[in-house]
């Protein structure tokens, strides 16, 4: 540095150890290669380690040795603007005040790659335009009391960086129109106290530490990932949001959000695995005063996710072709327009009352409820589902009304009350106590059944019309007897119910079930959530014992995944007859589908055993058959894994496709097969029908 270059070697060594004061020697507290900027004495500074300009009130340090800043920098109200040009190791001592009135620089200006370490919560950094300004990336460590920018005209920044910013230490308070602003990304891994202003970044924001109450907005032009804690958010703008996706991980927690515009908003999907408090919005714009809003990618509240009460113009709103999926828990939703609106709505978890000035729920496609909800009320209709309503999981749903377009799926398994009129759809086993209150009617149609298991009660204080079957454990049915068919009482044996008048035979554990669009979208949203949690961009939808799936359903799945920025894959598992293991697995790319598909498969059904019997009759080889439900080809190469018959020798397997209607077969030319350690044979084919696997080329008897 300038001073040391002019000193002799002897004098430099001497000064490293001491300073001459009144003829005595006093030891210096800092090393020879560290420069100390004492703000309290800056106006009298006459050295050459750094430049002091009393006209512009600037202190400029040009070398790259570590810097210690201390003292009171108010300078009679004019302050000092500190410019560190090259040093990246910057320490601020306790009880330091950095203050600047500059209109175009920060109070403390540092270079790219700088680390600022504070030593005490009594440190104060205040700028007119900016508190701290970094020409590139910046790390703030240690402890700093407050950082603020005070200009009330235009914008200002408490902390600004043209690169990435990491808050690794503790900042007790931040204040500025922009409290922290990064041209790159941002991570808050330490602790930030109360924030008055925006936290924003052009790239991803990761909050792994703790942020106190925020009076402002947290917004990322990339993705916002919260695995730490944000106490509460308030203000006259949005709460938290991202141009990409917003993810609150399982360990993430966001307190109450009370804002004028959107509580949580995202361009490419909101996924909540953790906790969010109550969300309150009070603005007037429909798409800027919504509790949770996603333009694309949908809203997913996973099994571990929990959100408090939501109120706004919309409770939860998503863009076209996007879905709302609630696997976790949401409190009451109250909205002036629609409580929940989306292309598909799925509730398999728990939701409170859902109330909308227009609709409780509105969807262009379907609503699936196989969880628990409170009352669903709307000024126009409680539920408007243009693609129909499907009940599952023995759910009990209360809706004020259904729109004329809303039909209840024949595949439903649940109870639906519309107003005071309830209907049992399908075969329902009550999962919790149910009371038919005075003025209510519950109808069990012909062909439907309602089972009351041990430990659950159905209390009739209104009217029950039983045209089907009500099965009850002892003491399960209480109150007024139903009209129509009497209650049939079940005698329990070893914890399982059996009826004295007979019991239906259960379907085999591998019976194929056709896939509805609502069920497919639910499965897709689950796969998207799982992929995000794993940090993957490939979402694999897994179906168990699937039957037919339509082309429109496949396309809807692809659209949902695409909007979430995911690559979609489909895995169809046909189980063994006891349901305990996979018999056949089909893996394919749904984006390549040109028609609807039948995804059922078996090595043991009638088609498989008859085909094996036919080939064994005419050929000497040991063979087995994989009977595929798809008959017209898959239109793409699919990978199939099937449980191999142990009698087959695996070193030279041949694969054929057999058409029983025309009694002909052809060899699959390049199956690319292998056998895994669990005894499954894997192969590829675009053909369908009955696949015959032989232990060599077929040889006639």
The answer to whether 118 and 140 have CB atoms below 8 angstroms apart is: yes
Reference 546, options 572, 569, 566, 528; nearest CA is 572
- Do 15 and 85 belong together in one domain? no
- The pLDDT tens digits for 622-648 are 999 999 999 889 999 999 999 999 889
Read off φ and ψ for residue 127, nearest 5 degrees.
Answer: -125, 160
- Do 273 and 286 belong together in one domain? yes
Q: Rounded CA gap, 687 and 81, in Å?
A: 75
Residues 242-262, mean pLDDT to the nearest whole number = 96
Which residues, other chains included, contact 563 with Cβ-Cβ below 8 Å and sequence gap of 6+? 268, 269, 296, 297, 298, 319, 321, 322
Q: What is the pLDDT of residue 529?
A: 85
Q: Is the pLDDT of residue 3 over 50?
A: no
Per the structure block, which two tokens stand in for 625? 């058959």
The answer to whether 426 and 411 have CB atoms below 8 angstroms apart is: yes
Q: For residue 447, give its domain range.
A: 441-499
Q: Burial of 558 by CB count in 10 Å (0-12 exposed, 13-18 middle, 19+ buried)? A: buried
Q: Is the pLDDT of residue 183 over 70?
A: yes
Q: What is the pLDDT of residue 491?
A: 54
- Do 136 and 227 belong together in one domain? no
Q: Is the dihedral of CA 688, 691, 697, 698 positive or negative?
A: negative
The answer to whether 526 and 325 have CB atoms below 8 angstroms apart is: yes
The answer to whether 120 and 143 have CB atoms below 8 angstroms apart is: yes
Q: Rounded CA gap, 153 and 275, in Å?
A: 37
Q: Rounded CA gap, 685 and 419, in Å?
A: 53
Q: Rounded CA gap, 228 and 226, in Å?
A: 6
- Do 120 and 245 belong together in one domain? no
Q: Rounded CA gap, 359 and 384, in Å?
A: 7
- Do 525 and 655 belong together in one domain? no
Q: What is the DSSP letter of 546?
A: B
- CA 373 to mean position of chain CA atoms: 21
The answer to whether 233 and 214 have CB atoms below 8 angstroms apart is: yes
Q: Rounded CA gap, 527 and 440, in Å?
A: 40
CA distances from 401 to 254, 418, 473, 650, 700 (A): 34, 5, 32, 61, 68
Residue 345 lies in a domain: no
- Do 186 and 222 belong together in one domain? no
Q: Is 168 helix (H, G, I), strand (E, B) or coil?
A: coil
Residue 370 lies in a domain: no
- The pLDDT tens digits for 421-468 are 999 999 899 988 999 999 999 999 998 999 998 889 999 999 999 999
pTM: 0.71
Q: Is the dihedral of CA 575, 578, 580, 583 positive or negative?
A: negative
The structure tokens 């991980």 sit at 249
Q: Is the pLDDT of residue 10 over 60?
A: no
Read off φ and ψ for residue 14, nearest 5 degrees.
Answer: -65, -45
Per the structure block, which two tokens stand in for 631? 């008959």
- DSSP-based helix, strand, coil % in the chain, nearest 5: 10, 50, 40
Read off φ and ψ for residue 258, nearest 5 degrees.
Answer: -130, 100
Q: Rounded CA gap, 232 and 216, in Å?
A: 10
Domain end among 157, 179, 203: 203
Residue 78 lies in a domain: yes
Q: How many domains, in total, are found in the chain? A: 6
Domain end among 278, 308, 331: 331
Indicate the angle between helix axes 517-534 and 551-563, nearest 10 degrees: 30
Question: DSSP labels for 624-651?
Answer: EEEEES--S--SS-EEEEEEPPTTS--T
Q: What is the pLDDT of residue 32?
A: 42
- CA 214 to mean position of chain CA atoms: 22
Q: Rounded CA gap, 556 and 657, in Å?
A: 31
Residue 52 lies in a domain: yes
Q: Rounded CA gap, 698 and 695, in Å?
A: 8
Q: What is the pLDDT of residue 285?
A: 65
Q: Rounded CA gap, 410 and 423, in Å?
A: 13
Residue 238 lies in a domain: yes
- The pLDDT tens digits for 288-342 are 789 999 999 899 999 999 999 999 999 999 998 889 999 999 999 999 999 999 9
- Do 259 and 294 belong together in one domain? yes
- Do 486 and 620 belong together in one domain? no
Q: Is the pLDDT of residue 493 over 80?
A: no
- The pLDDT tens digits for 651-665 are 899 999 998 877 889
Q: Rounded CA gap, 98 and 117, in Å?
A: 14
Task: Label residue 88 by pLDDT band (50, 70, 90).
Answer: very high
Q: Is the pLDDT of residue 541 over 50?
A: yes
Sequence-ordered alpha helix ranges (H) in 509-605: 517-534, 551-563
The answer to whether 413 and 426 have CB atoms below 8 angstroms apart is: yes
- Do 582 and 652 belong together in one domain? no
- Do 327 and 257 belong together in one domain? yes
Q: What is the pLDDT of residue 286?
A: 56
Residue 412 lies in a domain: no
- Do 242 and 293 belong together in one domain? yes
Residue 231 lies in a domain: yes
Mean pLDDT of the chain: 89
Per the structure block, which two tokens stand in for 46? 């006459």
Q: What is the pLDDT of residue 502?
A: 32
Q: What is the pLDDT of residue 409?
A: 85
Q: Checking DSSP bridges between strand 51-53 and strand 58-61, what pairing results, if any?
A: antiparallel
Q: Rounded CA gap, 306 and 351, in Å?
A: 10
- Do 20 and 45 belong together in one domain? no
- The pLDDT tens digits for 201-216 are 999 999 999 999 999 9
Domain end among 536, 551, 586: 586
Which residues, other chains included, contact 452 with Cβ-Cβ below 8 Å and sequence gap of 6+? 430, 458, 470, 471, 472, 473, 476, 477
Residue 426 lies in a domain: no
Q: pLDDT > 90: what percent of the chain?
A: 73
């Amino acid at each position: 540095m300038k001073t040391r270059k002019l000193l002799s070697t002897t004098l430099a060594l001497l000064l490293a150890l001491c300073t001459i004061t009144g003829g005595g020697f006093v030891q210096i507290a800092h090393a020879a290669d560290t420069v100390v900027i004492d703000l309290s004495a800056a106006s009298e500074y006459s050295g050459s380690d750094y430049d002091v300009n009393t006209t512009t009130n600037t202190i400029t340090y040009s070398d790259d040795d570590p810097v210690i800043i201390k003292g009171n920098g108010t300078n009679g109200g004019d302050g000092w603007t500190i410019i560190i040009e090259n040093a990246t190791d910057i320490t601020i001592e306790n009880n330091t005040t950095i203050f600047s009135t500059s209109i175009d620089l920060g109070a403390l200006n540092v270079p790219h790659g700088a680390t600022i370490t504070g030593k005490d919560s009594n440190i104060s950094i205040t700028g007119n335009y900016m508190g701290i300004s970094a020409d590139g990336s910046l790390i703030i460590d240690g402890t700093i009391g407050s950082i603020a920018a005070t200009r009330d005209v235009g914008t200002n920044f408490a902390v600004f960086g043209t690169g990435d910013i990491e808050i690794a230490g503790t900042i007790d308070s931040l204040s500025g129109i922009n409290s922290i602003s990064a041209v790159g990304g941002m991570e808050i891994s330490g602790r930030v106290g109360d924030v008055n202003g925006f936290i924003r970044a052009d790239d991803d924001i990761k909050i792994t530490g703790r942020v106190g109450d925020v009076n402002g907005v947290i917004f990322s032009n990339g993705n916002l990932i919260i695995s730490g804690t944000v106490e509460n958010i308030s203000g006259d703008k949005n709460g938290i949001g991202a141009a990409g996706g917003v993810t609150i991980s399982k360990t993430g927690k966001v307190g109450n959000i009370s804002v004028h515009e959107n509580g949580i908003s995202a361009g490419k999907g909101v996924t909540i695995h953790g906790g969010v408090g109550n969300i309150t919005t009070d603005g007037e714009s429909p798409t800027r005063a919504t509790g949770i809003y996603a333009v694309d990618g949908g809203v997913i509240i996973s099994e571990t996710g929990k959100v408090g009460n939501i109120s706004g113009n919309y409770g939860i709103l998503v863009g076209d072709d996007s879905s709302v999926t609630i696997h976790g828990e949401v409190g009451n939703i109250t909205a002036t327009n629609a409580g929940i609106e989306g292309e598909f709505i799925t509730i398999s978890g728990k939701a409170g009352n859902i109330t909308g000035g227009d609709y409780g729920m509105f969807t262009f496609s379907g609503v699936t409820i196989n969880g628990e909800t409170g009352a669903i009320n709307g000024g126009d209709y409680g539920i408007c589902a243009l693609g129909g309503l499907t009940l599952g999981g023995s759910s009990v749903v209360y809706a004020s009304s259904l729109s004329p377009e809303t039909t209840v799926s024949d595949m439903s398994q649940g109870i639906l009350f519309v107003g005071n009129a309830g209907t049992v759809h399908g075969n329902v086993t009550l999962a919790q106590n149910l009371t038919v209150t005075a003025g209510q009617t519950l109808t069990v149609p012909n062909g439907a059944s309602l089972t009351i298991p041990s430990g659950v009660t159905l209390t009739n204080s209104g009217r029950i019309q039983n045209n089907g079957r009500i099965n009850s454990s002892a003491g399960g049915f209480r109150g007024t007897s139903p009209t129509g068919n009497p209650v049939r009482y079940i005698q329990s044996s070893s914890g399982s119910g059996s009826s004295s008048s007979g019991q239906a035979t259960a379907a085999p554990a591998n019976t194929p079930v056709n896939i509805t669009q609502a069920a497919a979208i639910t499965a897709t949203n689950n796969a998207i959530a799982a992929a995000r949690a794993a940090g993957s961009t490939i979402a694999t939808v897994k179906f168990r014992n699937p039957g037919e799936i339509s082309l429109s359903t496949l396309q809807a799945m692809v659209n949902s995944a695409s909007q979430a920025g995911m690559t979609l894959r489909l895995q169809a598992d046909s189980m063994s007859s006891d349901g305990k293991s996979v018999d056949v697995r089909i893996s394919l790319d749904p984006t390549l589908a040109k028609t609807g598909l039948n995804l059922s498969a078996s090595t043991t059904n009638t088609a498989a055993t008859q085909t094996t019997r036919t080939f064994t009759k005419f050929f000497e080889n040991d063979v087995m058959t994989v009977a595929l439900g798809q008959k017209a080809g898959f239109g793409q190469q699919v990978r199939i894994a099937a449980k191999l018959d142990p009698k087959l020798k695996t070193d030279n397997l041949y694969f054929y496709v057999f058409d029983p209607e025309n009694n002909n077969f052809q060899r699959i030319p390049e199956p690319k097969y292998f056998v895994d350690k669990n005894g499954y044979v894997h192969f590829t084919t675009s053909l369908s029908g009955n696949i015959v696997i032989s232990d060599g080329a077929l040889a006639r008897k």
